[in-house]
């Protein structure tokens, strides 16, 4: 299912590795590599961009694939959700909304799941995907509205034994799922939980 681009959909399951970058060396963010350690995606956070609540997902060639911003307004302050929006750019350079992620406002909605809706709308449910599990523990999944896991985030046991921190983890993306979309969601979760993309 192409959300950002069909170029990032594979016919088979893909296992990718995420390595967080330290803030002091290159401004934070993270790098995504395949099994041959070839860079597939890079995420730049506010340590590089200099803008709070703004992230960029880049492809292997450094081209910007997704601009992710938190929507800020007085209405959001009164809402039980904080909303993040992911944009691609059309051939004329105009931004095009491709997904929205609703983060529960921690003081008002402790037990509500993080939910993601993709554009264009037109479904019966008000969301298409949700996060099951807890991202900071590297034990969570992106699940579609029918309950199917589309991506699994975890730490391999051998990596966990070698490292005290969770700066290295793997993501299993199911066949036909847009990997750029998955890593746009992961970048947003990384920022929400105050990790490598946040200043």
Q: CA gyration radius for the chain?
A: 16
CATH class of domain segment(s) 6-192: mainly beta
Domain extents in the chain: 6-192
Residue 76: how many other CB atoms lie within 10 Å: 14
Write the pLDDT tens digit of every residue in 92-140.
778 899 999 988 765 444 456 799 999 876 555 678 999 999 999 889 9
Write the pLDDT tens digit of every residue in 37-47.
999 999 998 76
Contact 95, 108 (CB under 8 A): no
> How far is it, in rounded angstroms, from Cα 41 to Cα 62?
8
Give pTM, 2 decimals.
0.87
How large is the average pLDDT for residues 72-83? 60
Per residue, the 3-state secondary structure of 3-33, as one string, reads: CCCHHHECCCCEEEEEEECCHHHHCCCEEEE
């Amino acid at each position: 299912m192409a959300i950002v681009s069909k170029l990032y959909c594979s016919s088979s399951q893909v296992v990718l590795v995420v390595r967080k970058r330290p803030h002091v060396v290159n401004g934070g963010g993270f790098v995504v590599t395949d099994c041959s350690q070839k860079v597939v995606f890079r995420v730049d956070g506010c340590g590089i961009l200099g803008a709070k609540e703004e992230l960029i997902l880049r492809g292997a060639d450094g081209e910007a694939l997704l601009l992710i911003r938190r929507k800020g307004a007085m209405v959001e302050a009164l809402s039980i959700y904080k909303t993040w929006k992911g944009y691609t750019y059309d051939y004329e350079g105009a931004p095009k909304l491709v997904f929205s992620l609703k983060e529960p406002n921690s003081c008002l909605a402790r037990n509500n799941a993080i939910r993601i809706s993709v554009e264009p709308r037109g479904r019966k449910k008000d969301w298409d995907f949700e996060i099951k599990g807890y991202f900071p523990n590297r034990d969570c999944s992106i699940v579609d509205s029918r309950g199917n896991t589309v991506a699994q985030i975890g730490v391999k046991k051998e990596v966990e034994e070698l490292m005290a921190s969770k700066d290295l983890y793997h993501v299993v993306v199911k066949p036909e799922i847009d990997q750029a979309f998955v890593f746009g969601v992961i970048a947003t979760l990384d920022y929400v939980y105050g990790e490598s993309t946040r200043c």
